[in-house]
Amino acid sequence: MSGFVHEDGWAANEKFEWYTPPKIFDALGLEFDLDPCSPGPEKCFTPAKKHLTIVDDGLTAEWSGLVWCNPPYGRHTRDWLFKMADHKNGIALVFARTGTKWFHECIRSTDAVCFIGGRLRFINGLTGKQGDSAGADSMLLAWGEVSKNAVIKSKLGIPMEVIHE
């Protein structure tokens, strides 16, 4: 492994996961049926009945019920959000990249959006400790009535109902 090694032992170019902080789930107050982007139930805080890991390929797997989706960030974010849009029942946590093409394509399909107040501090998958502030602001995108109501009532930031014409 090459690259700069930080004092806590991880390399700058090493791939590892960041987990959703529990405060998000506490504020939403929901139990999800599925987390298709899970590191595994023993590693994360997602209150879901079923967890799909990278081995299960949650992007191509069949989804059912209320879905929590904190997708891998990067060039495939759009793919995950379009799958959520097709499913129409769940909440996605992504960076608030409002200038991207995928944001403008995707937002029209949602029922609500919440721009989270302050930068999240995700949980480091290697250490289990909360990391520094994320590199960008985050938002929750909600599909379906249950998800919309939870996001609006969460008090995590500025929620907005999306009006469909």
Tell whether 12 is covered by a domain: no
Q: What is the amino acid identity at position 138? A: S
CATH number at residue 101: 3.40.50
Tell whether 58 is covered by a domain: yes
Question: Model-level pTM?
Answer: 0.87
According to the model, what pLDDT value does residue 68 have?
A: 97
Residues 6+ apart with CB under 8 A from 86: none
Q: Work out how many domains the chain is built from and give that number.
A: 1
| Mean per-residue pLDDT of the chain | 86
- Which parts of the chain register pLDDT below 70? 1-16
Angle, CA 48 vertex, CA 46 and CA 52 arms, to 5°: 90
Tell whether 50 is covered by a domain: yes
Tell whether 13 is covered by a domain: no
Residues 6+ apart with CB under 8 A from 118: 133, 157
End-to-end, the C-alpha distance of the chain in Å comes to 52
Tell whether 100 is covered by a domain: yes
